[in-house]
Structure 1
Amino acid sequence: MTPERLREIYGDVHERAAAKVIHAFDAHCRQFIEHSSFLILATSDGDTLDISPKGDPAGFVTVESDTTLLLPDRPGNNRIDSLTNILAHPNVALLFLIPTVDETLRVNGTAEISEDPALRAQFQVNGRRPKTVLRITADEIYTHCGKAPMRGGLWKPESWPSQRPVATLLEMLRDHTAIPQDRTDQDAVDHLYRSTLY
């Protein structure tokens, strides 16, 4: 397969799609980020790829300037895959989502990790500051059409499963790691989440 063959298969890019990339956060982008409560962060160490979900109340990402964003790093499992990737290879991509909105916002750029106390204090929740904050400098910013969420029924409750269709997190961890778990029911998972959310 070649780029030329792909273009032959798919045809020319739509004019608006080709022209929609901007390089600064305008009013529409700022509004989208202000209302987003969830994003996907993609990073790479130069060889392998990684994606990581990030979520908080709407507006948890701050538009610092026309070209920079601030993203707090909340407590997780301490693998810090995204952060070590950024140290090796600062290129990142973000996909912002807003519940009930089919369209998404994409940002491609570079990131740096800050442990500045004043910066961390801006994102304090329940008396706890994030250990680090990402400062992301955007190179490309653009909207993405809503066809994929529409096809997947992402925001249509009538298409959601009536019961959890997969094992609990602790059941999966038990089987993936061979480390025994005292409890594996969803109540145990919910307790774990509540105690480590911030």
Structure 2
Amino acid sequence: MEITSEEQLREHCGFAKIRAIQKQLDYIDGHIHRFITLSPFLVLSTSSSRMEMDSSPRGGAPGFVKVLDPKTLLMPDAIGNNRLDSYRNIIENQQVGMLFLIPGVDETVRVNGTAIISTDSSFLEQFVDLRKPPKFVLVIQVREAFLHCAKALMRSKLWANDFKIDRKHLPTMGDMLKDQTNNQDIAESQEAMLARYQQEL
């Protein structure tokens, strides 16, 4: 049976505890601010005007996303592959979701809101200390922000070694891309690719 309504869903799952509802804030409080300051990684979710979804990893030194004020976050652009999936989506649909992680911490932080792409100098000046300053900044207006419990990361043992694998158990990125693109050139080695990435960071 396909579940097609919230009523059916609630019949299977029940209702959230009051604390799970009350923890949802419409601003960045001190605890969430501290979490974001310590976070070197997030997943950014966006959607096109056709409701085609995308999730993209973003990373930097801890605190690379700055809390401008309790309702505003700033995320610098970083050099990538120029697909610009997230940014193209934001131009069409400003709704975004962000999931912040801290290595070693099983709790996460979720932030939802709207975003614009800005070249305003007052925003760019926040990131002049970066080795490669951004061309533009994502300005996120916070609609909701809340802590997410540790269960998912506990189940996955993400920060433990239980499920950690040796990289050699997967083909190199170069080999996988060669297969997917039917490229006849010699695949770039994993070492060469990582060295090139290191120069681009």
TM-score range, shorter chain: over 0.9
Deviations 1:112-162 (A, max 9, x none): 001124422422422x21111000001010111111111111000243114
Deviations 1:35-78 (A, max 9, x none): 00000000001320001100001010100011000000100000
Which shifted more, 163-172 or 84-93? 163-172
1:174 counterpart residue number: 178
Whole-Å separation in 1 of the counterparts to 2:20 and 2:29: 17
Q: Percent identity?
A: 42
Of 142, 163, 166, which aligns to 2:146?
A: 142
Whole-Å separation in 1 of the counterparts to 2:122 and 2:26: 28
The answer for unaligned runs of 5 or more in structure 1 is none
Amino acid at match of 1:195: Q
Q: Using the TM superposition, give the Cα deviation of residue 165 of structure 1 relative to its aligned residue in structure 2, in angstroms.
A: 2.8
2:45 counterpart residue number: 42
1:54 counterpart residue number: 58
> Are 1:92 and 2:96 an aligned pair?
yes
Whole-Å separation in 1 of the counterparts to 2:6 and 2:123: 43
The answer for unaligned runs of 5 or more in structure 2 is none
Amino acid at match of 1:83: Y
Q: Using the TM superposition, give the Cα deviation of residue 178 of structure 1 relative to its aligned residue in structure 2, in angstroms.
A: 1.9
Superposed CA RMSD in Å reads: 1.4
User: What is the TM-score when the length of structure 2 is the normalising length?
Assistant: 0.92
Q: Is the 8 A contact 1:62 1:70 kept in 2?
A: yes
2:80 counterpart residue number: 76
2:11 counterpart residue number: 8
Amino acid at match of 2:47: S
2:127 aligns to what SS in structure 1?
coil
Which shifted more, 179-188 or 106-115? 179-188
2:27 counterpart residue number: 24
The alignment of Structure 1 onto Structure 2 pairs a total of residues equal to 196
